[in-house]
Structure 1
Amino acid sequence: MSGYPPYGNQGGGYPPQYGGGNSGYPNYPQDNSFQQQPPMPGYNDSQSCASLYGTTAAPSNNMNYPPAPYDSYGGNQMSNPSYGMGGGNNYPPPPGGQPPPSMYGQPPQQFGGYGNSQYQPPYPQQPPPPQQFGGYGNAPVQPVYPQQPGPPPPGGMYPNIPGPSDFGQGGMPPFSYQQPGPPPQEQQSVFLASLENYQGTVFPFPTFNAEADCQGLRHAMQGAGTNERVLIDVVANRSNFQRQHIKLTYKTMFGTDLVKQLGGELSGEFKEVISALFDAPATYEAWSLHKAMSSGKEGTLREILLTRTNAEIRAIVDTFKRTYNKDLEHEISHRVRGADFKRMLISAVQANREELTPQQIQQARQMGIESVIDRNRARQDAEDLYKAGAGKFGTDEKTFNAIFARRSYYQLRATFEEYQRKHGKDIAQVIRSEFSGDAQDAYLVLISCIRDRPTFFAERIHKAVSGLGTRDSTLIRVIVTRSEIDLAQIKQRYQHLYNRSLAQDVGGDTSGDYKRILLSIVK
């Protein structure tokens, strides 16, 4: 992967602290009443956002990242929430400080499994019971494991959001968040994902031991060639937070940058996957945006900037500035073509979309989602959209941008319903009538994510593996960045939409170690 900037942060330089969300690291107890959703059908022009479940599906605003071990600007930050990618980020050393049993000399299983080795096999098994670790900052870690799809929930506008009865008499599971909190203006994003019931496929390794992993990786690179199966078995079964700790520990133990050393041993798409997995998410996404603007890949710009939470976008903007000494908004202004599309991206990088506050989250759980939606405003916004489009000659693009860029996903769903109720058209149909080119595509991405984010990413992967050749960078980026967030739901949507499993199509379009590591993540 030539041109990749020096493989992330070299033992430091992690992004500044931002409130979490659920890129795998919410600091509140897991909702044990969760039942996964069955696959969702896709949308068409004449289908309202209410038509699938009686109302709409909840989006996944849950990709905020965990703390990186160290920051080159501020020293040790293990006790504070930051920006990473993984699930349940507070990990203690194993009991007694003893490393797990040796991983060597065991017969390999398919796609990187290691029999009785210390490493977690890349395919689902019976999950161990949730464990609670002391970790850093006394925040509990309760790994979430994929479950069998359950029956659809009873009606409601947001089928992915549990109702008050799911939490007993209190209605809201008690938070045990004890770490120092983020700045007040960013606390929204910390708890935004608590309304969602999405899961990744990669979880923190319960008996994580960074020194043992470093010894194993060093042993895998000794001698002629590299033992790629050991590498896959370690990397694909550690959370991003744990991988950051492995990078730091490896350099501490051996005085060598692990990712640079791996880069000299690997090549092709397999090297790109390994590099992406060892990057902090903001670093990888900033690199992806920089590459996309240099090569005119508007789809990558839409995929990243129009689907992330406020906290994630702030971290990407800050990392972009540190890495390339350039302002992301300035780069968009000078490199992106099309006034309407450019306006949407610039609005997105302000990271100023309305998001539910912790108080609204609690209220929604106790009283229902309608209690935090302003129906009057939804009706007014729907009417403003009509007057800016179908109700006039030409299109007032700025009105569309103002509403789509500012309102929360929950509020926009209500607006879409009100528009269809009064004017008889699905909002996607309206966008296709009023816009074209990159701006039309951008609005359709937003609508898809507002209604059901996993469906958007399932479609994105399908486009990457369909037709002649494979769009490898897209395939890698989606699988890596969603692996600890909602990849379990993406797999369900993919199966429903295309009557084929995600693993089947990924495996059919890739080969060798590249195939093995992707399937170890997809599971």
Structure 2
Amino acid sequence: MSTLSVPPVPISPRDDAIQLYRAFKGLGCDTAAVVNILAHRDAAQRAILQQEYRTMYSDDLLKRLSSELSGNVKKAVLLWMYDPAGRDATILRQALSGDIIDLQAATEVVCSRTPSQIQQLKQVYHAKFGVYLEHDIEYQASGDHKKEIYHLELIFLYITTFEVVTTGIRAMVTYKELEERLIAVDGSIKHLATLIVALTVKVDTMMSSSEPKGDDHQGEASHANLRSNSNHGVHPKPVGVDLPRFYGEDPTGWILLAEQFKNYHHLDDEQMIEIAVIHLQKDAVLWNQWLLLACVTKPRYEGLEVDRMMVEKDAKALYKAGEKKLGTDEKTFINIFSERSRAHLSAVTSVYHSMYGNSLKKAIKSETSGNFEFALLTILRCAENPGKYFAKELHKAMKGLGTNDTTLIRIIVTRVEIDMQYIKAEYQKKHRKSLVDAVHSETSSHYRTFLLSLLGPKH
């Protein structure tokens, strides 16, 4: 439900154009007049006004607003002037091609929109920017990932691997022993990174207890080769190998590679954890990219009907792909979350809790991380209650020291003509404070006036 307030008697586009032209004339800009007009016009009225202004003054209203306004009020007004699909396209383009890639903004837009909104958005995106949204997500998101870890790739270029793990060594660390240790980890990046360091102790034990005995000349040669390579810096031909990733199989080889990685670069435990964190974050970026691509390419049903058998099947599949196994089968999460309707996912959440005694949200938090976690939670929360989701994001944008004005502007401007009344109600219910009061305390001047005009009265 919209909170936009428009004049009861429509103002002619010609009169609006004249008033805006006068506000731009002379030294400075009458920002108050601009805000008073534009904050009380709906999408159709804004579109006609832009056409009228161009006809009357041979000038682009958006360009004029950009040159006359400044700061946050400029950002808010310019974003407001687009229709919903054009606005989303603009947000995504800026998020995917700016100097700083804003994957969270891109994720929020893609994962919170309905299938029909995404289809319209894709058409506008291509018409407006001459490229397909899917291509920008794939190219720009992966480009951001590459920029973030470029310095690490230079290091990893010369990492080597040793083919010295004998059958005796593999037998010493059973899957059962490590399974118990891995299950104890809650899935967070920090814990997973710390795990890599902690398990290297097991490797030392394995190495010391696997000394060749008797006539085991082959084992002796392999062991001597390993010791020589480790202690004297003699390595086989360099190959490009990343920090090893664990997929839930027999972890013996994974532990050995992690130990080799650590020793090769003379890393202490803290350095090892930092590098492991970066690699796990890198994985989260890539899974998030694939989820966004799936969301904008796969068709989804928008109706309210659900297949109860399919709901139960999906709940079981998600449990098997996450909490039940070591590691996470991200592809299962991507397929279900990108292909199922909101009503279906909402039903899956309920069934998952009744079947396994844990919420699906908590499972996602423990099994995933970074932008991938944010994307899955965004899809799930918008399936259950979009008003509650956006109320929470607005609170986060204003919580603590400073305000995330980019997020504040994006959510208010994009939701005013859709469901802002519900968002305000959810905000009031959760925080015992009106959204209007919260925004008033975090903003000032014409910027405050504009946002409050869009939000309408407190209740």
- Which deviates more from structure 2 when the two are superposed, residues 405-414 or residues 224-233? 224-233
Q: Aligned partner of 2:439: which letter?
A: V
Alpha-carbon distance between aligned partners in 2 of 1:431 and 1:264, rounded to the nearest angstrom? 45
Q: Aligned partner of 1:507: which letter?
A: H
1:348 corresponds in structure 2 to: 295
Q: Aligned partner of 1:313: which letter?
A: I
1:218 corresponds in structure 2 to: 21
- Which of 2, 6, 9 does residue 207 from structure 1 map onto? 9
Q: Is the counterpart of residue 332 in structure 1 residue 137 in structure 2? A: yes
Higher share of residues assigned helix: 2
- Which of 398, 420, 435 does residue 465 from structure 1 map onto? 398
2:123 corresponds in structure 1 to: 318
* Contact 1:286–1:316, Cα closer than 8 Å, also in 2: yes
Q: Aligned partner of 1:436: which letter?
A: S
Q: Aligned partner of 2:4: which letter?
A: V
Alpha-carbon distance between aligned partners in 2 of 1:398 and 1:244, rounded to the nearest angstrom? 42
Alpha-carbon distance between aligned partners in 2 of 1:411 and 1:205, rounded to the nearest angstrom? 40
In the TM superposition, residue 488 of structure 1 has moved relative to its aligned partner by 0.9
In the TM superposition, residue 515 of structure 1 has moved relative to its aligned partner by 0.9
In the TM superposition, residue 440 of structure 1 has moved relative to its aligned partner by 1.3
In the TM superposition, residue 261 of structure 1 has moved relative to its aligned partner by 2.0
1:480 corresponds in structure 2 to: 413
In the TM superposition, residue 414 of structure 1 has moved relative to its aligned partner by 1.4
TM-score between the two structures when normalised by the length of structure 2: 0.65
Distance 1:203 1:520, change over 3 A: closer
Q: Aligned partner of 1:393: which letter?
A: L
Structure of larger gyration radius: 2
2:69 corresponds in structure 1 to: 266
TM-score between the two structures when normalised by the length of structure 1: 0.57
* Contact 2:287–2:372, Cα closer than 8 Å, also in 1: yes
Give 3-state SS (helix, strand or coil) of 1:485's partner: coil
Alpha-carbon distance between aligned partners in 2 of 1:334 and 1:253, rounded to the nearest angstrom? 41
2:435 corresponds in structure 1 to: 502
Matched pairs, number: 311
1:95 corresponds in structure 2 to: none
1:246 corresponds in structure 2 to: 49
- Which deviates more from structure 2 when the two are superposed, residues 332-341 or residues 420-429? 332-341
Residues 267-294 of structure 1 show CA distances to partners (whole Å, capped at 9, x for unaligned) of 1111111111112222222222122223
Q: Is the counterpart of residue 439 in structure 1 residue 376 in structure 2? A: no
Residues 75-120 of structure 1 show CA distances to partners (whole Å, capped at 9, x for unaligned) of xxxxxxxxxxxxxxxxxxxxxxxxxxxxxxxxxxxxxxxxxxxxxx
Alpha-carbon distance between aligned partners in 2 of 1:263 and 1:290, rounded to the nearest angstrom? 18
In the TM superposition, residue 247 of structure 1 has moved relative to its aligned partner by 0.4
In the TM superposition, residue 400 of structure 1 has moved relative to its aligned partner by 1.5
Alpha-carbon distance between aligned partners in 1 of 2:326 and 2:29, rounded to the nearest angstrom? 64
In the TM superposition, residue 204 of structure 1 has moved relative to its aligned partner by 5.1
Alpha-carbon distance between aligned partners in 1 of 2:413 and 2:406, rounded to the nearest angstrom? 10
* Contact 1:205–1:239, Cα closer than 8 Å, also in 2: no
* Contact 1:344–1:401, Cα closer than 8 Å, also in 2: yes
In the TM superposition, residue 410 of structure 1 has moved relative to its aligned partner by 0.6
Alpha-carbon distance between aligned partners in 2 of 1:287 and 1:330, rounded to the nearest angstrom? 15
Q: Any unmatched runs of 5+ in structure 2?
A: 146-284
Q: Aligned partner of 2:94: which letter?
A: K
Give 3-state SS (helix, strand or coil) of 1:470's partner: coil
Give 3-state SS (helix, strand or coil) of 1:447's partner: helix
In the TM superposition, residue 245 of structure 1 has moved relative to its aligned partner by 0.6
In the TM superposition, residue 206 of structure 1 has moved relative to its aligned partner by 4.0
* Structural mapping, 1:25-174, within 5 Å: none
2:83 corresponds in structure 1 to: 280
Alpha-carbon distance between aligned partners in 1 of 2:366 and 2:73, rounded to the nearest angstrom? 42
Alpha-carbon distance between aligned partners in 2 of 1:429 and 1:241, rounded to the nearest angstrom? 42
In the TM superposition, residue 203 of structure 1 has moved relative to its aligned partner by 4.9
